[in-house]
Copies of this chain bind each other. A is one copy, B any other.
Amino acid sequence: MILITHERLELEALTAQARGPSNGAVVTFLGTTRDRTEGRRVLYLEYEAYGPMVDNKLQEILGEIRERWGITDAVVAHRIGRLEVGEVSLVVAVAAPHRKEAFAACTYIVDRIKETVPIWKKEVFEDGHVWVGSEEAGVTTSDSGPDAGSG
């Protein structure tokens, strides 16, 4: 299941979507928004997605874990729009009969999301903002030219 939403991500409900009676293991990943980046205090965040392509890429990734591990019980949910510090931006939940595959597939999905899914995060500070690629990057991938500041 794939979900791109402005609403709050509910871990329990999303994980329930992935669980099934023949699965003994569920591994989840939560990406949460941090309060600081390189010592600067973050006021809030904004996520922007290239919607249709995000869907395509996530479907591809779910196809890959089906192929590699035979896993069909997986949920990927990404929140977009404005998020407060500490809120959850990404939930990945993978269920499998045994834990080894569940851990491997969940790690794989998160890695692939970071590599190929077009979603960007804006960190807003008191004195400006930066665009970074992912909720964990912590590195300013934008330059800091004169027109990049105070949004």
- B-contacting residues of A (Cβ < 8 Å)? 10-12, 15, 19, 21-36, 85-86, 95, 97-99, 102-103, 106-107, 110, 135-136, 138
Interface contact B30-A135, CB-CB below 8 Å: no
Residues of chain B contacted by A26 (CB below 8 angstroms): 29-30, 32
- Dominant secondary structure at the A interface: mixed
Q: A11-B11, A12-B11 are in contact. Are A32 and B28 (CB under 8 A)?
A: no
Interface contact B103-A107, CB-CB below 8 Å: yes
Interface contact A23-B32, CB-CB below 8 Å: yes
A84 to B: closest C-beta gap in Å? 11
Interface contact B136-A25, CB-CB below 8 Å: yes
Interface contact A11-B15, CB-CB below 8 Å: yes
Interface contact B28-A28, CB-CB below 8 Å: yes
Interface contact A25-B31, CB-CB below 8 Å: yes
Interface contact B103-A99, CB-CB below 8 Å: no
Residues of chain B contacted by A23 (CB below 8 angstroms): 32, 34
Interface contact B19-A32, CB-CB below 8 Å: yes
A29-B23 Cα distance, complex, nearest whole Å: 12
A27-B104 Cα distance, complex, nearest whole Å: 12
